Amino acid sequence: MAKPFSIRNLLQGELLDFLKSSGFECTHITELVRDLTCLLASYREEDVSLFPEVFVLPSIDSVASLSPGAERVVLGNATLDHETAARVLKDCASLAVCGWAVYVAKTGANSAQYGVFRSLVHSFATSAEEAMIEISAASPVVLIRNRGRLVVELRNAKRELFTACFTSAAASDSVFAQYVSDFAGVVSSGIAPEHGKSFALYLSRLLGDILQHCHGALLAAHVPPANGTAPDKLKDGVWLAVPVGLASAHQAAVNGNDAQSLSTLQALEALLGGMIRSDGVVVFGTNGTVVGYRIFLKPTDKENKNLPDKGGGRRRTYALMKRRLGAKLKAAFFRSHDGDTECAKAAS
């Protein structure tokens, strides 16, 4: 006898407590969040994976509070039913890029408005995710987003986290954001504290977006060589004669707050994205610079004997980087094609 099974009711039950803690008591919202979570686990259009951020809010006024003065494009109104989540993503997901995010806000007991809004006005502004913490007392907010292959993360305004894993692996929290933050912290470690903290937050957002849309990556954080030349173990690749000053461009944009400095920063962001999408390792300086890309590491005979036999070339290179962590190589970051993420740091 056939025995059909669906995680629908199980997931809704697990989400119920999280949404109540977040400030939502509406059954229709619980069902909407459940359906959005399932769809975002592996959302594709025209055979292209999309990674929209979706904010669920209790009212239209909450959208304005989340991102005051930012542009908002209304794309539709819907009755909250079993088709709403699919309709919202179909109309909005492809637009939720480059600082835009999806919103769904209740307008009645069983109705909602949806569309897209500028969740990040410019690259160094306060993001909607950061802003939702500040308005938590006035309005509940839940952010839903894909964090890897079949892994969806929900975050509320109380900083609480719910991770839904649609695989046979044991349930665990999403580590993507934490590992990106760890790596950004090492890259910022050589910057003056008054600027380093804000740059680390900015770099975390930037890397998170780039890594979510690439087919795997390897990153390293290295103490910048005093003479500017590539260390022997990093010579196989493109070592930049003049490092890309991402931290200095960020500081200039924050201080100047003008079109020219913002344009320069955005140009460097695009450049970094191209480097990360290339093969090999992208090497950051611990002073907030980018010093090399398409770097290929060659193990010595001794190192080769201790590298894992299983796994692809990217995984083996990451294992090699971890073995080399120390006085100069301060952090290694790995992101696989299917979203598996790791970060290792040198001992303090």
Q: What is the DSSP string of 130-163?
A: HHHHHTTTT---EEEEEEETTEEEEEETTS-EEE
The pTM of the full predicted model, rounded to 2 decimals, is 0.82
CA distance 50 to 94: 7
| 177 neighbors 207 (Cβ within 8 angstroms) | no
Q: Which of 151-160, 170-179, 269-278, 330-339 has the highest mean pLDDT?
A: 269-278
* CB-based contacts of 125-132 (< 8 A; 24+ apart in sequence): 127/205, 128/55, 128/66, 128/67, 128/101, 129/53, 129/155, 130/201, 131/66, 131/67, 132/55, 132/66, 132/157
Name the residue ranges covered by the structural domains of the chain.
8-165, 176-345
- 137 pLDDT higher than 60: no
HSE-CB at 91 with a 13 A cutoff on CA atoms is 19
What residue ranges in 232-328 does DSSP mark as E strands?
238-244, 281-285, 290-295
pLDDT digits (tens, 9 = 90+) for 302-315: 888 878 777 678 99
Average pLDDT over residues 25-38: 92
With CA atoms as reference, report the closest residue to 150 among 306, 343, 340. 340
pLDDT digits (tens, 9 = 90+) for 34-69: 999 999 999 999 888 899 999 999 999 888 888 777
The proportion of the chain whose per-residue pLDDT surpasses 70, expressed as a percent, equals: 97
Residue 47's SS3 state is coil
| Average pLDDT of the chain to the nearest whole number | 89
CA distance 101 to 52: 6
Fold assignment, 8-165: YojJ-like (1 (3.40.1700)
- 218 pLDDT higher than 80: yes
Among 73-77, 87-91, 157-161, whose mean pLDDT is lowest? 157-161
Q: What is the pLDDT of residue 173?
A: 64
Do domains 8-165 and 176-345 share one topology? The answer is yes
Average pLDDT over residues 213-227: 92
Q: What is the pLDDT of residue 6?
A: 73
Average pLDDT over residues 103-129: 88
Does domain 176-345 bear CATH number 3.40.1700.10? yes
